[in-house]
Structure formats: structure tokens, C-alpha cells
Amino acid sequence: VLLAWELFVRWRGIAPIYLPPPSTILVYLFRMIGNGSIEYNLGVTLLRIFAGFAIAALTGVTLGVLMGMSRLIARIVDPWIAALYPLPKIALIPLLVIWLGTGEVYKIVISAVTAFFPIVISTYAGIRQTDRGLIKAAEDLGASRRQIQLKVVIPAAIPSIFAGLHLGMGVTVILIVAAEMIGSSSQSGMGFLLIQSGQVMETEKVFASLVVLAIVGALIIKLQQWIDRKVAPWTAFRDGQ
């Protein structure tokens, strides 16, 4: 694909401002690494992503477990989840800018809010869909309600919880970059780097930034999969991995 891209651009004589060849993008990428712009902006973006994701993971998993364990809590919270989840989270950016300004709190909050919903929904679904045969077997063996919850229900819900965490991380990356592009006063982050490069028509820098985001995104996904296997090896065995 890269070779075909390179040959097509050079054969057609397409101007770099529209579509630079991969070789030129690579040159600009090394230049940006050399002057430190990639490392600094990527580090800032990752800090924002992980800060918001950590908040969302803690609150989302906790609330999802509580909803799965308590019908009362589920009846109270579920209508709110159903109403707010379909709302496009990017539409909240103008409101959060008004409330919180354009500093770090705004970016972390949009990150946390975005990841929260898929995490809590997946956790709740995993708890509610636990195999009743496993619960019955534990009851027959004399397990208490607390033991069933901690040693049967929650471990059985781990695959759904991890699926929610994967989804949450994916949308967090998207919204953080978008938030950095919209109303950013800190002038840092990969989103800011993208919008700044685009405004001065430096298409090579735009592509180089996108390449970095794609590579980092793939590494984060692989890291999550590795953590999944370490934390819950029985899920990998069940899936035949």
C-alpha cells in the first residue's frame, strides 16, 4: 500500500499540500521527533487520556457492578443512562467550555464522560448475564451471597467489563484529540499539533501526527489485550487463545 501510494503520488505529480508521499511524511516525522514536538505533545495527550480514562474506569465499573447487584439502583440509574448515552459527547464540548473553560479540567472531564458510558453499560450487562447455572452450583456448595458475588458473578462478568474498557479507551482517544482541537488554550497535545499544522497548510506534519496517533492507538489496544490475559487468563483460555 505504501509503495503504491508513493508511486501514485509521484507519477501523478500531486502537490504535497494535497497528498504528500510516504517518504516525505517519514522525513517530517523524524524532524518532529528531532525537535521534540512529537514527544512533548504526545506525552500531554496521553496524560489527559489516561487521567480521564482512570476516572471513568473506576466510576463506571463500580456503578455497573452496583446496578447489576441491586435492582433498586438499576431502576434509578438505568433511565438516566438510556437518556444520556445516545447524546453525542462531542456536542458537550461547547457546554463544558462554558462551565470549565479550556484548561486541563475540561479535557479530563470530556475524556471521563466519554469513556464512562460504554464501561458502565458493559459492566452492567456482564453482571446481569452471568450464567445462572454457575450461581446455582455455588449455592448448592454452600457459598454465601457475598461469596457468589465476588467469586462467581464478577469473574464471570470480566469479559464484558474488559470489552467496555476497550470501547471506553477508543472513544476517549477520539474525544481528547477533538477537545484539543476545539477551544484549547494550553496550545499543547496532538490535537493542537494537528490543527496548527492544518492551519498553515503543512500537510506533511498533519500526516506525520496521524501516523503517530495510529501507532500509539494500536499499542494501547495491544497493551489492553495483554493486561486482559494477565488479569483474567480464563477468558483467553475460553476464547481458545
pLDDT at 198 over 90: no
Please tell me the predicted confidence (pLDDT) of residue 183. Answer: 60
Please tell me the predicted confidence (pLDDT) of residue 72. Answer: 92
Between 237 and 182, residue with greater pLDDT: 182
Amino acid present at 112: A
Per-residue cell: 206: 498533519
58: closest CA among 4, 135, 112? 112
Distance (Å, rounded) from C-alpha 73 to C-alpha 149? 16
Q: Which helix (H) or strand (E) holds 219?
A: helix 203-231
Question: Which three-class secondary structure state does DSSP give residue 112?
Answer: helix
DSSP for residue 241: -
Please tell me the predicted confidence (pLDDT) of residue 185. Answer: 58
Helices 203-231 & 190-199 angle (0-180, nearest 10): 160
Distance (Å, rounded) from C-alpha 115 to C-alpha 229? 22
Structural contact between residues 14 and 130, judged by C-beta atoms closer than 8 angstroms:
no
- Residue recorded with cell 473553560: 101
Percent of the chain with pLDDT over 90: 27
Per-residue cell: 198: 492544518
Please tell me the predicted confidence (pLDDT) of residue 219. Answer: 92
Q: pLDDT tens across 13-61, in order? A: 888 888 899 999 999 999 998 888 899 999 999 999 999 999 999 999 9
Q: pLDDT tens across 51-95, in order? A: 999 999 999 999 999 998 888 999 999 899 988 888 887 778 788
Per-residue cell: 146: 457475598
Please tell me the predicted confidence (pLDDT) of residue 235. Answer: 60
pLDDT at 237 over 60: no
Distance (Å, rounded) from C-alpha 205 to C-alpha 203? 5
Show the DSSP H helices in the chain as ranges.
2-12, 22-34, 37-69, 71-84, 93-100, 104-128, 132-140, 145-148, 154-181, 190-199, 203-231, 233-238
Taking CB atoms within 8 Å and a gap of at least 24, the contacts of 141-150 are: 149/69
Between 204 and 104, residue with greater pLDDT: 204
Chain centroid to CA 171: 4
pLDDT at 159 over 90: no
92: closest CA among 118, 77, 108, 113? 113
Per-residue cell: 67: 446496578
Q: pLDDT tens across 165-176, in order? A: 999 998 888 888
Please tell me the predicted confidence (pLDDT) of residue 149. Answer: 77
Structural contact between residues 179 and 110, judged by C-beta atoms closer than 8 angstroms:
yes
